[in-house]
Amino acid sequence: MESPRPESGLSASGPALPAPSAAEVRRLAPDLIETLRLEQGRIALWPGHRARLLASARALGYPLDATALDGWLSAQLRNLPAPQPQAPAPVTNDPTAEAAGTRAPCRLRLLLAADGALTLDCAPLPPTAEPVRIALAADVLETPAVLDADDPWLRHKTTHRPVYAAAQRWLSEHPDHFDLIFGNAAGGLCEGSRSTIYVQDADGAWLTPPLSNGLLPGVRRQALLDEGAVREARLSLDDLRRAPALRVSNALRGWIRADMT
């Protein structure tokens, strides 16, 4: 397991994310997505979500102003319906702190369209029982289930997810499974259709694949890297199969234990 130089993909003002061709962006024009956890009136890991959205918007040429985004989100959160009577949240400079009355965890889906239009949907977020069950996409899907590590779309969270669409259909038919895990053409470990994958090595360290394997710069993943809880390593599907312990993560569910089936 080789440890590469850490690869960051969440800085809106840092190195540009890889981008598809302008013609392909115009042809597909997918929405950018951020899936957010709202709890106790705050969006978990909002700075990371914000940075990723701004970076992807810049890469794809979608109009998005950071100050306008903050103001729009603040207004949206103030107007969310309350599941039960609550005292209004105090107004602060943090737009994610202004969700009056929404205190139970919920799932927010923020979309940015190619023309710059923003939308926000809210849905209940049921708890997750651990460990969750995962499987290899190549073992259960009939359609090709191998990622192209050089595909720039993998570095952006968009509604253009043709490979992962088959995984989501399979998961809807197998609700006992949390996710399907993908590899690339070289046998490298990549990610799940809705989560980042982590393997524990023989020394107890937690490892996750580098972005160059072909995966999304996950917000929870970046937080764990910043905390020193995990580190990047060039992992293979064989590393996944023989790992003594596994975890997956996303911004909604956190960093949770997983079992392969």
Question: Other CB atoms closer than 10 Å to residue 33's CB: what's the count?
Answer: 17
Please, which pLDDT band fits residue 84 given cuts at 50, 70 and 90? very low
Q: Is residue 225 part of a domain?
A: yes
Together in a domain, 139 and 87: no
Q: Is residue 14 part of a domain?
A: no
Together in a domain, 108 and 136: no
Q: Are 101 and 88 in contact (CB under 8 A)?
A: yes
List the CATH number of the domain containing 27: 3.30.470.10
Together in a domain, 150 and 231: yes
- Which of helix, strand or coil describes residue 59? helix
pLDDT digits (tens, 9 = 90+) for 228-258: 999 999 999 999 999 999 999 999 999 999 9
Together in a domain, 117 and 139: no
Q: What is the amino acid identity at position 131? A: P
Q: What is the pLDDT of residue 125?
A: 95
Together in a domain, 137 and 45: no
Q: What is the DSSP string of 227-244?
A: HTS-EE-B-BHHHHHH-S
Together in a domain, 137 and 254: yes
Q: Is residue 43 part of a domain?
A: yes
CA angle, 23 then 161 then 116, to 5°: 55
Q: What is the pLDDT of residue 5?
A: 47
Number of domains present in the structure of the chain: 2
Q: For 106-110, 144-148, 152-156, which range has the lowest pLDDT when averaged over its residues? A: 144-148
End-to-end CA, the chain: 23
Q: Which of 124, 144, 164 is the last residue of a domain?
A: 124
Together in a domain, 147 and 206: yes
Q: Which of 73, 101, 124 is the last residue of a domain?
A: 124
Average pLDDT, the chain: 89
Mean per-residue pLDDT, 84-93? 41
Structure tokens at 246: 């596994």
List the CATH number of the domain containing 146: 3.20.10.10
Together in a domain, 27 and 45: yes
Question: Does the structure show a pLDDT above 80 at 200?
Answer: yes
Please, which pLDDT band fits residue 98 given cuts at 50, 70 and 90? very low
Question: Does the structure show a pLDDT above 90 at 99?
Answer: no
Q: What is the pLDDT of residue 96?
A: 53
User: Pairing state of beta strands 179-184 and 146-147?
Assistant: parallel
Together in a domain, 54 and 166: no
Q: Are 250 and 258 in contact (CB under 8 A)?
A: no
pTM of the model: 0.86
Q: Which of 105, 124, 143 is the last residue of a domain?
A: 124
**Alpha helices, DSSP H only, in the chain?**
22-28, 46-60, 66-78, 137-140, 162-173, 219-227, 237-242
Range of the domain at 232: 132-260
Mean per-residue pLDDT, 154-178? 96
Q: For 10-14, 81-85, 86-90, 137-141, which range has the lowest pLDDT when averaged over its residues? A: 86-90
Together in a domain, 116 and 166: no
